[in-house]
Amino acid sequence: MRMTVVGCGYLGAVHAAAMASIGHEVVGIDVDERKIEELRQGRAPFFEPGLQEILTAGLESGRLSFSTDFAAAAGSRVHFIAVGTPQSADGGAADLRYVNAAIEALLPHLAEGDIVAGKSTVPVGTAAGLAEIVAPSGAVLVWNPEFLREGWAVEDTIHPDRLVVGVPAGEAGEAAADVLREVFRPAVENDTPFIVTDYATAELVKVAANAFLATKISFINAMAEIAEVTGADVVQLADAIGHDARIGRRFLGAGIGFGGGCLPKDIRAFSARAEELGRGESVAFLREVDAINLRRRDRVVELAAEALGGDPAGKRIAVLGASFKPHSDDVRDSPALDIAAKLHEAGADVVVTDPQAIENARRVRPELSYSESLDETLADASLVIVVTEWDEYRRELDPERAGGLVQGRTVIDGRNCLDPARWRAAGWTYTGMGRP
C-alpha cells in the first residue's frame, strides 16, 4: 500500500522505515530540510537499535523515500501524522501547532476515500476537531496512537502488543478500520489485539497507559522514600509485591525516576486537559506522581553531599550515564543529566560519560564536562554515581578495576542496577535508592 508519514522525528522516522520493511511504499515528509537530507542519505537521525538497517534496506528497495514537499502525499491511501506535541511554554498543556500545520499542509493533496491516521499523542477531543477540518476533502480521519518505547521502537512498531484505532461512527469508520487492518496485516495475522473504538477512547488509551506507567514508577519510588527512613529494602519489596500477578514486577524499578520525551510531558498535558474539562480532581494524583518523581533527583544530590562529608563543592564526581534510559541517546528531561547539572551547580567538579548520548547532552547542558572514556571519567573521582543502567556500568564495570582508578571507593547506585555485595566486597561504600 502507498502511504505517507508526516513528521520524520522519532516516531515518524521509525514508523516510515518500519512500514517500508513490511512491504509498503512509504514517503516520509518533514518541513526540516536537513533532517530529510540525512534520511535520504540513509543516515538514521538518532540512535535506535535496528533503525539503521531498515532505513538502508527501505531506501535500497525503492519503497522508502523522503520529501519536504507535501505534494508527495498525493496518491497515498493512508497519511500518518507523526509530528511532535511538545509541552507548551506556558505550562503543562500540549502544544498542537505542529499537528494543525501538518493537517493544513496535507489538505490540498487529499483525495476522496483517503485516510488520515493521527499517531501523535494529543489531548482528548483533538481528533473530533480535526475530523471536521479534514471532512471537506472526502478523506476520513482515524486516531491510531503509538505505544513504542525508545530503544525498542523498531521492534514495538513491527510487533506491537496491541493496535488501537479510533474511528468515526458508521460505515466510513468501519471501512477505515479495515484499511488500517490491511496496513498492519503481519501483526494482525499474528493475533495482535486490534481494538476499534471511538476517537476519545483512542486518544485516552494512550495518555491513560502512560499515566499508569508513570504512577507505577512513582508508587515504588514513594515506597523507596519510606524504605529510606525505616531501613527496609525497596528492591526486595518490589520483588515480593511483583509476584502478585495483579501487580506485576515490571515498572517497579525504584531509582531516580522517569524522564524522556513522553511520560513527564504526557502526565502534565493530561492534567492540563482534565482541568480544562472541569475534571482536574480526577487526575490530581498525577501532580503527586510528578512531584515524587522529581524528588528522587534531589535525593541523589542529598546522598552525594552526605557521601562527600556534607558539601560536594570542589569534589570530583564521576556521573555514569546521561540518557534518560539505556539503549537510547535521548536526553530529553533526563533525570541523569538533571542530577549532573544540580551537582555542578552545587560546585562539584562533575564529569559525565555515556556510551551514546554525549553529543546530545553537550547541546542541552554545555556547562558540564564530558568524557567518552569511562576510565577517564572515573580517574581520581571522590564519588561515582550511576544514573543510567547501561550494561557498560551494570554488568561490565569491574568494581575492583574501577577502584584502582578512583580516589575514593564510594558509589551511589541511582538505578539500583549494581550488585551491592560485589561492590562492597571490593571495598566500596555502596548506597542504593531505598535500600539499607
User: What does the buried/exposed string (b/e) look like for 267-278 if buried means 16 or more CB atoms within 10 Å of the residue's CB?
Assistant: bbbbbbbbbeee
Helices (H), 50-152: 51-61, 97-106, 126-134
13 binds ligand UDX (CB under 6 A): no
217 binds ligand UDX (CB under 6 A): yes
Edge to edge, the sheet with strand 410-413 lists: 369-370, 349-353, 316-320, 383-386, 410-413, 429-431
Cα 105 to Cα 323: distance, rounded to the nearest angstrom: 34
Residue of 171, 187, 177 lying closest to 144 (CA atoms) = 177
Which residue in 262, 267, 341, 378 is the catalytic one? 262
Among 30, 114, 150, 233, binds ligand UDX (CB under 6 A): 150
Min dist CB 10 to ligand UDX, Å, is 9
Helix (H) or strand (E) holding 270, with range, is helix 263-276
234 binds ligand UDX (CB under 6 A): no
Check: CB of residue 83 under 8 Å from CB of residue 98.
yes
Min dist CB 261 to ligand UDX, Å, is 6
Among 80, 258, 390, 393, binds ligand UDX (CB under 6 A): 258
Candidates 83-91, 107-115, 141-149, 197-205: pick the segment binding ligand UDX (CB under 6 A). 141-149
251 binds ligand UDX (CB under 6 A): yes
C-alpha dihedral, 6 to 9 to 10 to 14, nearest 10°: 50
Min dist CB 425 to ligand UDX, Å, is 26
Among 166, 168, 173, 253, binds ligand UDX (CB under 6 A): 253
Written as one string, the DSSP assignment of 7-68 is --SHHHHHHHHHHHHTT-EEEEE-S-HHHHHHHHTT--SS--TTHHHHHHHHHHHTSEEEES
Q: Which is nearer to ligand UDX, 92 or 259 (CB)?
A: 259
Q: Which is nearer to ligand UDX, 99 or 148 (CB)?
A: 148
Residue of 266, 29, 11, 52 lying closest to 153 (CA atoms) = 11
Contacts of ligand UDX in 282-311 (CB under 6 A): none
Among 83, 177, 196, 262, binds ligand UDX (CB under 6 A): 262
Closest residue by beta carbon to ligand UDX:
253
Please count the residues of this chain forming the interface with ligand UDX, following the rule CB under 6 A: 20
10 binds ligand UDX (CB under 6 A): no
12 binds ligand UDX (CB under 6 A): no
Among 28, 160, 259, 355, binds ligand UDX (CB under 6 A): 259
Candidates 57-65, 131-139, 250-258, 392-400: pick the segment binding ligand UDX (CB under 6 A). 250-258
Close Cβ partners of 197 (under 8 Å, ≥ 6 residues apart): 164, 165, 166, 167, 205
Min dist CB 319 to ligand UDX, Å, is 15
Pairing of strands 383-386, 316-320: parallel
Active site residue 417: no
All cell numbers assigned to 65: 523515500
Handedness of CA 352, 289, 435, 231 (dihedral sign): positive
Min dist CB 97 to ligand UDX, Å, is 21
Among 2, 149, 295, 394, binds ligand UDX (CB under 6 A): 149
260 binds ligand UDX (CB under 6 A): yes
Q: Which is nearer to ligand UDX, 19 or 140 (CB)?
A: 19
CA distances from 424 to 197, 297, 371, 391, 420 (A): 54, 24, 26, 19, 6
Among 324, 370, 393, 430, binds ligand UDX (CB under 6 A): 324
Q: Which is nearer to ligand UDX, 109 or 216 (CB)?
A: 216
For residue 354, which phi and psi values (nearest 5 degrees)?
A: -165, 140
Burial class for 32, CB neighbours closer than 10 Å (0-12, 13-18, 19+) = middle
| Active site members | 262
Where does this chain bind ligand UDX (CB under 6 A)? 146-150, 210, 213, 217, 251-253, 255, 257-260, 262-263, 324-325
